[in-house]
Structures are given as C-alpha cells and as structure tokens.
C-alpha cells in the first residue's frame, strides 16, 4: 500500500511521511477504528504523534480514497481501509461488537432504492441491534 499511498499523495502535491504510513497501517491492522484508537496504536510505535496529526491524516487518506468512515456509535467516526471489500456494518448496542457482511445482505434494499433513482452508499451503512450472545444473556438475567 505504501507505493499506492506515495503515488496518490504526490498527485495531490503532498509528501509521504512516516506518520502517514503509520496511520494508514494502523487503520489496516485495526480494521475498524476511531481516531483515538488509531492514535493509541500509532503511539505504541512512535510516541510523538499527536491527535491532530491523526485527524488531519485520516481526512487526507479519506480524500485519497484509501480509507472510509462510518458512524458505528454516537461518538467519533470509525475508519476502515478501502482494501477491504465493501461491507455493511452490524453493531450490537449492548456489547458494541461490530460484524461485517457483504453488500449482498442489503441487495434487495439497494435494488429497491435504485428503482426509485437513489444510489445507496453501502460502505457507510450501519445497522444497530442486539447480537445473539447479548440476546441470550438478557434472557437469563
């Protein structure tokens, strides 16, 4: 990904910095992470990286099409790499576990909206509910 990152940055007149590489790698390794989680991960390697660098870099990486964000809670956005296939996020409101499903899960919805002239962005879709583990636990208490 470094070559792709370097090329896309150069096309925008930007430089490939160690911080940008670390932040992109963190997003790829964490799979779904808030800026604060990315910061903690990066600081395990380089303690001098600050929060504003992470936020600015995530914005740049998203503009370059290397990461995407979605809102998996009422807090900060969650970022994931575009190297992953497009997917729908399913979030348990109780334990906050996030699972990913392929776009075929919502294909009927995508098709119905397309028939009405609307193009759905599946990568930003998050469905909230309760997972089986939490459903079982709540029934026993």
40 is in an annotated binding site: no
Q: What is the per-residue burial (b if ≥16 Cβ within 10 Å, else e) of 105-131?
A: bbeeebeeeeeeeeeeebbebeeeeeb
pTM for this prediction: 0.75
The CATH 3.30.1490 domain(s) of the chain lie at 88-132
Band of residue 136 on the pLDDT scale cut at 50, 70, 90: low
What is the fold, at CATH topology level, of the domain defined by 88-132?
Dna Ligase; domain 1 (3.30.1490)
- Looking at residue 27, what is its pLDDT? 94
Residue 13 has pLDDT above 90, yes or no: no
Q: In whole angstroms, what is the distance from residue 23 CA to residue 26 CA?
A: 5
What architecture is the 1-81 domain classified under in CATH?
Answer: Orthogonal Bundle (1.10)
Q: Say how far residue 48 (Cα) sits from the centre of its chain.
A: 24
The CATH 1.10.10.10 domain(s) of the chain lie at 1-81
């Amino acid at each position: 990904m470094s070559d792709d990152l370097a090329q896309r940055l150069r096309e925008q007149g930007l430089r490939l910095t160690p911080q940008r590489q670390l932040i992109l790698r963190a997003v790829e390794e964490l799979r779904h992470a808030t800026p604060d989680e990315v910061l903690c991960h990066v600081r395990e390697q380089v303690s001098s990286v600050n929060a504003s660098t992470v936020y600015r870099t995530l914005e740049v990486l998203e503009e370059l099409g290397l990461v995407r964000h979605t809102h998996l809670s009422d807090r900060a956005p969650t970022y994931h790499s575009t190297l992953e296939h497009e997917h729908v996020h399913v979030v348990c409101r109780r334990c906050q576990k996030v699972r990913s499903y392929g776009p075929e899960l919502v294909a009927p919805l995508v098709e119905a909206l397309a028939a009405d002239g609307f193009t759905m962005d599946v990568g930003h879709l998050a469905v909230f509910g309760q997972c089986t583990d939490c459903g079982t636990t709540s029934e026993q208490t």
